[in-house]
Amino acid sequence: MSDLMDTIRTIAKKTDSKILMVVLDGVGGLPLTVNGDTELATAQTPNLDALALESQLGQVELVGAGITPGSGPGHLSLFGYDPLRYVVGRGALSAVGIGVHLKAGDVAVRGNFASLGVGRVIADRRAGRPSDEKNAEIVARLRAAIPEIDGTPVEIYTESEHRFVVVFRSQGVDEAGQGLGANLSDVDPQVTGVPPQTAVGGDPASERTAFLVNEFVARAEAVLADEPQVNGVLFRGYSDVPHFPSFADTYGLRAACIASYPMYKGLASLVGMDVLEVEGEEDALDGKVAALAAHWTDYDFFYFHIKKTDSTGEDGDFHAKVKKVELFDALLSRLRELQPDVLCIVGDHSTPSKLASHSWHPVPLLINSRYGRKDMAARYTEEEAGKGSLGLRRGTDVMPLLMANALKLQKYGA
C-alpha cells in the first residue's frame, strides 16, 4: 500500500455524510478546429453550468503528464490506488465483472471481435459494434470449436457488443515449474490498416500463454471465415489474479458500484465495492438512478459510471458525444435531489472524438460540497476547469479530497 493510502487509513473516520462520484467515461475532448470548442463546451448543459457556479473545479492527470491511461489505470487512480504500482489487465477486470471466478495460475484476456479484409488487414477493430445477441452467437460458435488448446481448457464469454473474454485455465506447473504467465504482447495493434500482431511471451511461463493465444487467433479466424463482418479476434489486457488493498479498510466506507459494463463492475468488485443490480439499457440511465435511490441509505460512497461519453468519442463522432453529455445533464437534477454531501464529477481519461481514442489530456474535475473556496470556473468544461481553485491534480488526490470535503478525515499529527 502506498504511503498516502497508509496515512488515509489511520485518519479516516466514519460519519453519516455521503459521497457520490460520477465518472463520465472519456469525458475530456478536443476542438475539431483551432480555437474551437470541445464536446463539453459545445454541449448545452444548464444543470452542469448551475452546479459549476457553486462548486470547486480543477483538472486531473490520471497517471502522469503525457501518459494516456487505459480505463483500468484511470479508475484505479480515481479510487486512490497508484496505477503505476497496482497494475491489472483488462482481462481480469472484465472476467470478474461478468462473474467468472479466477484462480491462481489462470490468465484472462480481453478480446475484440474485428473485421479483417484481404491479407488479414484490420478494417474495423470493433466489427461494427455488433449487437449483444450477435456477440453471443459468435461466442457459442467459438466455444464449440475451441474447448481446449494443447490440453489447456479454454473458456469464452460474451461481454458486450464487440467485446468478449477468454480465460486460459492453468493445469498447474510443468516439470520445469512453469504454469501460465500474463507477461506477453498484444495481438491488437490498436490501429486499422495492418494485420493482427503475433503475441510474444516475455518469460517462459508467458511464452506458453503466447502459444495458446496465437493458436486461438488462428482457429477463431478459421471458424469465422464465413462471417461477413465478425471474422477476426484481437487480444490485449492479459492478466492473472490481481490483489488490492480493501477500499473499505482504507477509507472506512461502505461503497457501492452502479455500472452496466462488466469491466467497471469487475474493477469495483476487485477493490471491495458492492456491485448493485442495474436494470435497463445503458443509454436510458433510468435503471442506474433507480438503483442509486433504492440503496441511498445503505452506503456511504457511490461510484456511478456513465459509459457512452467514451464510446462515442472512440467512434470519432463529435456530435454524438455532445448528445451524450447533454443526456447526462438532463439526468443531473435527479442525482442532486438525493442531496449528497459531496458530489464529484470527473472522467477516467479523455477520449477526444478528433482522435477516436483515449488521450493524455487532463480531465475536468468538479467537487461540490459546503466547504469549497471561491472558484472562478463558470462551467464544467476543460477550459473553465483550468481556471478552478483545485488546480492540476493527480488522480490519486481525488479520494482524499472527497473524504476531506465529507469531513471523514481527522487531523494528521499533533
Q: For 290-300, what is each residue's pLDDT tens digit?
A: 999 999 999 99
Q: Residue 120: which CATH number?
A: 3.30.70
241: CB partners within 8 A, 6+ apart = 92, 102, 103, 104, 106
Of all residues in the chain, the percent with pLDDT exceeding 70 is 97
The rounded mean pLDDT for the chain is 93
User: Is 411 a domain residue?
Assistant: no
- pLDDT recorded at residue 349: 97
Q: What distance in Å separates the CA atoms of residue 135 and residue 139, rounded to the nearest whole number?
A: 6
For residues 171 and 164, the model is more confident at 164
- pLDDT, tens digit, for every residue of 211-226? 999 999 999 999 999 9
Domain final position from 204, 239, 274: 239
Q: In what order do the strands lie in the sheet with 301-306?
A: 274-275, 255-258, 301-306, 19-24, 342-346, 363-368, 56-61, 391-394
pLDDT(178) > 70:
no
Same domain, 336 and 251: yes
- pLDDT recorded at residue 263: 82
User: Is 413 a domain residue?
Assistant: no
Same domain, 262 and 395: yes
Instruction: Pick the range with the lowest mean pLDDT from 7-21, 92-106, 165-179, 347-361.
Output: 165-179
Instruction: Pick the range with the lowest mean pLDDT from 125-139, 177-191, 332-346, 369-383.
Output: 177-191
Same domain, 260 and 149: no
Banded model confidence at residue 176, pLDDT cuts 50, 70, 90? very low
Same domain, 207 and 312: no
- pLDDT, tens digit, for every residue of 323-351? 999 999 999 999 999 999 999 999 999 99
Q: Which residue segment(s) compose the domain that 206 sits in? A: 94-239
- pLDDT recorded at residue 172: 63
Banded model confidence at residue 25, pLDDT cuts 50, 70, 90? very high
Instruction: Pick the range with the lowest mean pLDDT from 55-64, 81-90, 196-205, 368-377.
Output: 81-90
3-state secondary structure the chain: CCHHHHHHHHHECCCCCCEEEEEECCEECCCCCCCCCCHHHHCCCHHHHHHHCCCEEEEEECCCCCCCCCHHHHHHHHCCCCCCCCCCCHHHHHHHHCCCCCCCCCEEEEEEEEEECHHHCEEECCCCCCCHHHHHHHHHHHHHHCCEECCEEEEEEEEECCEEEEEECCCCCCCCCCCCCCCECCCCCCCCCCCCCCCCECCHHHHHHHHHHHHHHHHHHHHCCCCCCCCEEEEEEEECCCCCCCHHHHHCCCEEEECCCHHHHHHHHHHCCEECCCCCCCCCCHHHHHHHHHCCCCCCEEEEEECHHHHHHHCCCHHHHHHHHHHHHHHHHHHHCCCCCEEEEECCCECCCCCCCCECCCEEEEEECCCCCCCCCCCCCHHHHCCCCCEEEEHHHHHHHHHHHCCCECCCCC
- pLDDT, tens digit, for every residue of 117-132? 999 999 999 999 999 9
Same domain, 172 and 253: no
Banded model confidence at residue 175, pLDDT cuts 50, 70, 90? very low
Mean per-residue pLDDT for 131-138? 94
Domain count, the chain: 2
Same domain, 43 and 184: no
Single pTM value for the model: 0.77
Same domain, 55 and 138: no
Of all residues in the chain, the percent with pLDDT exceeding 90 is 80
User: Is 224 a domain residue?
Assistant: yes
- pLDDT recorded at residue 212: 96
Same domain, 333 and 254: yes
User: Is 171 a domain residue?
Assistant: yes
User: Is 278 a domain residue?
Assistant: yes
Same domain, 57 and 100: no
pLDDT(177) > 60:
no
- pLDDT recorded at residue 282: 66
User: Is 397 a domain residue?
Assistant: yes
Same domain, 34 and 110: no
Same domain, 149 and 224: yes
- pLDDT recorded at residue 1: 45
Domain final position from 213, 239, 265: 239
- pLDDT recorded at residue 261: 85
User: Is 377 a domain residue?
Assistant: yes
Domain final position from 220, 239, 258: 239
User: Is 184 a domain residue?
Assistant: yes
Banded model confidence at residue 102, pLDDT cuts 50, 70, 90? confident
Q: Residue 355: which CATH number?
A: 3.40.720.10
Q: What distance in Å separates the CA atoms of residue 77 and residue 83, rounded to the nearest whole number?
A: 6
Same domain, 398 and 335: yes
pLDDT(9) > 80:
yes
- pLDDT recorded at residue 148: 95
